[in-house]
Chains A and B, each alone.
Chain A
Amino acid sequence: AQKITQTQPGMFVQEKEAVTLDCTYDTSDPSYGLFWYKQPSSGEMIFLIYQGSYDQQNATEGRYSLNFQKARKSANLVISASQLGDSAMYFCAMSRSSGYSTLTFGKGTMLLVSP
Chain B
Amino acid sequence: SAVISQKPSRDICQRGTSLTIQCQVDSQVTMMFWYRQQPGQSLTLIATANQGSEATYESGFVIDKFPISRPNLTFSTLTVSNMSPEDSSIYLCSVGTGRNEQFFGPGTRLTVL
Contact = CB atoms under 8 A, between A and B. Distances in A.
SS of A interface (majority) = strand
Interface string A82-109: 0000000001010100001111111110
SS of B interface (majority) = strand
A90 to B, nearest CB: 11
B88 interface: no
A43 interface: yes
B67 interface: no
A35 interface: yes
Given A103-B45, A108-B42, A45 B104 contact: yes
B31 interface: yes
Contacts of A102: 33, 45, 48
Given A43-B106, A102-B48, A50 B100 contact: yes
Contacts of B92: 45
A101 B103 contact: no
Interface string A39-72: 0001111110010100000000000000000000
Interface of A: 33, 35, 37, 42-47, 50, 52, 91, 93, 95, 100-108
